[in-house]
Amino acid sequence: MRYREYGETGAKVSALGFGCMRFPMEDEKVKKEETIKILRRAIDLGINYFDSAVMYCKNQSETVLGEALEGRRAEVYVSTKNHYKGDDPKEWRKYLDQSLDRLGVEYIDFYHLHDLRLKQYKEHLLPGGCIDEALEAKKDGLIKHLCFSSHDDPTNIKKLIDTGLFEGILVQYNIFDRVNEDVISYATERKMGVSIMGTVGGGRLIPLSEKIEGMTPDRESTPTLAIRFVLSNPGVTVALSGMNTAEMVEENVAAASREAPLSEEEKSQIADVIDQTKKLEGLYCTGCDYCMPCPFGVDIPANFTAFNLAKVWGLESQAKIQYKALGDRKEEGEPAPAWAAACTGCKKCESKCPQNIPIAEKMKEVEEALSG
């Protein structure tokens, strides 16, 4: 395993981190014994960065991780998150104390404000609010390093970095989604640690894809190439992967342990394939969101994303899983299907589309291709 300096914290973390969001589960319960074996195998293989959150795995992730770390706490760095973004510092502190208890630790190495957005920071958390509680907990030694994760616009993430309050960030970045490349460079220039989520596309890159595996001369497996791609970015400190089998851990550790993440020739070849494929994606949708919202609840860009996975990248099985998830969406506990099948053909979206895509017609194609 290779290790990298996490900003200016002095911590040396494994290039591959264990994302604790996808533990094996059955009947909405984590398979505890199996998961603990997987986590301990990861430690044996050199992974020393474990990332969890309050709500992961039906609120069970932190507890199971804590049990796996019994007797091995000194070997690892623990990362978890606080999702509270209200005005009550006591409520924020409640979740910190809960995480400490669930994990069975005296302090948390990397404590993230979970999916922080600039608007939330300004309206609820900035100095004078819950941020003060976080800084006090850090002063008391309960938090070693204060960080944040975010799915906000890159410009807003940079503004959060500019507050100077944080020592690290956690953002999405992978072969499919490179929108945060400038954010990664921006944070690195400011001596911050950079953790990456979605290394294998939130599971999208795990299914085999001939197009993806053909990107390099030796035709590496899809997840191996995905990990090596992310770690080829010099600004990345640790790439997280949610692993639910020992075999997956071993394969990913081997990928992260390669001395050279990717050669210049390989990176050039990948860039060419991606650029060519992106042109094909543009035939379906550029993801501008101008067509939204749909009056009938159809998530048009998400449907096209699933369609592109199948038609452009050859990931048909994963595309069908994503499509079904759109159909299973709920709002406030009530069914709110967002898949193409909910399209009525009203065409109100089509006049807004700068690509002039016949959306109603394409929604029929999406339904036909992915509903089986």
Q: CB neighbours of 306 closer than 8 A, spacing ≥ 6? A: 319, 320, 322, 323, 326, 366, 370
Provide the β-strand partners of residue 168.
147, 193
Mean pLDDT of the chain, nearest integer: 89
Q: Which of 27-41, 213-227, 305-319 has the highest mean pLDDT?
A: 27-41
Can you give the residue ranges of every domain in the chain?
3-263, 283-370
User: Which of 45-54, 91-100, 115-124, 160-169 has the weakest average pLDDT?
Assistant: 115-124
At residue 205, the pLDDT reads 52
Distance CA 79, CA 91 (A): 20
Q: Would the pLDDT of 208 be above 60?
A: no
Task: State the pLDDT confidence band at 209, using cuts at 50, 70 and 90.
Answer: low
Place of tokens 């050039």: 268
Give tens-digit pLDDT for 329-358: 988 788 999 999 999 999 999 998 877 889
Distance CA 197, CA 239 (A): 7
Element (H, E) at 4: strand 3-5
Give tens-digit pLDDT for 299-315: 999 999 888 878 877 77
At residue 314, the pLDDT reads 75
Q: Does the model's pTM come out above 0.95? A: no
Q: CB neighbours of 335 closer than 8 A, spacing ≥ 6? A: 329
Q: What is the mean pLDDT of residues 178-206?
A: 85
Distance CA 153, CA 144 (A): 27
Q: CB neighbours of 350 closer than 8 A, spacing ≥ 6? A: 291, 356, 357, 358, 359, 360
At residue 259, the pLDDT reads 66
Report the CATH architecture of 3-263. Alpha-Beta Barrel (3.20)
Give tens-digit pLDDT for 122-133: 999 988 889 999
At residue 280, the pLDDT reads 58
At residue 275, the pLDDT reads 66
Q: Would the pLDDT of 265 be above 90?
A: no
